[in-house]
Amino acid sequence: MSSMFTSDENLRNMVVHFRRERSGFLQMFELGFKKYISGDWINASAIFFKIKKQQFDDKFQDQPTLTLLAFMDQYKFIAPDDWKGFRALTEK
């Protein structure tokens, strides 16, 4: 699926515009997500809170950031001992 972002011309054009507009956001989110996966939730949450704070435009509320913060908050931002880098999705 992710290969479509490089192989599909329409998606490539869309992503190029997005990256130009939100390149700092994408870099921060990628770093935060890597820390989240690795179980470093203290630093991941710090990055995600920074992203949330920088979202001045009410039209752009990054739902993945908000969802990850809400999930980590359930554990007080400490990854469970059995953390494997992912969680089961239980919502539609």
27-64 per-position pLDDT tens digit: 888 899 999 999 999 999 999 999 888 876 566 677 88
**pTM beyond 0.85, yes or no:** no
Could you say which DSSP state residue 91 is in? -
pLDDT of residue 79: 97
d(CA 4, CA 87): 24
Length of the chain: 92
Helix (H) or strand (E) holding 8: none
